[in-house]
Amino acid sequence: MEKKIIQLLFICYFFHELIIVSSALQVGFYAKKCRAAESIVQQEVQRSFSTDRSITAALLRMYFHDCFVRVRNNIVYFVQGCDASILIDSKNTGNKQSEKDAGPNQSVRGYEVIDRIKSRVESACPSTVSCADIIALATRDSVALAGGPKYNIPTGRRDGLISNPSEVNLPGPSLTVEEALKFFTNKGFSLNDMVTLLGAHTVGITHCSLIQDRISRFDGSIDSNLFTRLSKTCAARNNDPSVFLDQSTSFIVDNEFYKQIRLKKGLLKIDQQLASDRSSAGIVENFSINPKAFQQAFANALIKLGNTQVLEGKFGEIRKNCRAFNPPAQQKKRQPRKKSFRPKNPPPRKGSKFSIPFIAP
């Protein structure tokens, strides 16, 4: 009995270590190391937003896809959360594919914004500001510019040394609430966190190919006028028409998304199910009538997403170029390993029906 208790404590300890929010990150991490860092990020994001308001959706998606990766090796899980692994180009890895080449990531964009920021911070403070922090800060600033919450996000992340497309496992648009929740709980997130983060669909687009299950036939689960409009749009003879996820305030980070899914105007199956599933309907209702509650929850969820499973201290590296690992001679520390038990419901491997983009920019 005593042996079993010790084993249980051992397992719980490592699982806690795996999902715990980092306590080493701090707001204002670069205040003394690189005083201009956050203002440079803000300036470049403003520059992009002034000519392309859709950059908010693009950066939100990049942030989520980078932070939501879990590297696996049998029952051992390597620490890999927000570490800028999504930025690596395969041509810079000895022609091995990188995360960027995974199916869900092939339409991720906004890399040029990160490149411009990195170029400027390297000039101001060489080898000081991580690409992972740049993604987190750029996302924060783009959300604020789009009318979303203004929040402080801790920094101090390091860049990872792994970028493997076969380890990209993301929740897809055709899941049920129960299926999608497994992805989030495996990363230490709650149902409320999931419903909140899906609120990122208040900006951005999706493509007709991803909503065919919603418009192939009318079944009453979608507003009839929207069904008619989408059927016409998606029948157009171009490659794959795009449609706004939020048909009302398409470039504004607000609670309109929740109002629409309560009216059966959700485009993606998972979005619409949030409003109809008993477990999540109450959260949706609260956000739909309380914009301040959504704004605060959204800020908290983005902070939590960016603080979970990060590299810090002397682990990983600070890349000189966000698209390439530093030369081996400059890599002083390898990726740390922290064991945990295999989750009860591990996410499917690449190639499953779940390997579909979470947020379309």
pLDDT in tens, 60-97: 999 999 998 754 544 444 456 899 999 999 887 776 88
Q: Does any domain span residue 303?
A: yes
Q: Catalytic site residues? A: 65
Q: Does any domain span residue 214?
A: no
Q: Tell me, what's the pLDDT at 331?
A: 57
**Mean per-residue pLDDT over the chain, rounded:** 84
Q: Does any domain span residue 2?
A: no
Of 301, 190, 294, residue with least CA distance to 249? 294
65-76: b (≥16 Cβ within 10 Å) or e: bbbbbbbbeeee
Q: Does any domain span residue 345?
A: no
86 vs 16 pLDDT, higher one: 86
171 is in an annotated binding site: yes
249 is in an annotated binding site: yes
- If one counts the domains in the chain, the total is 1
- What is the rounded CA–CA span in Å between residue 241 and residue 234? 6
246 is in an annotated binding site: yes
Yes or no: say if 181 and 194 are a contact pair by the CB < 8 Å rule. Answer: yes
Yes or no: say if 352 and 172 are a contact pair by the CB < 8 Å rule. Answer: no
Domain CATH for 124: 1.10.520.10
Q: Tell me, what's the pLDDT at 20?
A: 39
16 is in an annotated binding site: no
Q: Does any domain span residue 110?
A: yes
Domain extent at residue 79: 36-204+245-307
Q: Tell me, what's the pLDDT at 336?
A: 53
Q: Does any domain span residue 315?
A: no
Yes or no: say if 170 and 323 are a contact pair by the CB < 8 Å rule. Answer: no
Q: Does any domain span residue 355?
A: no
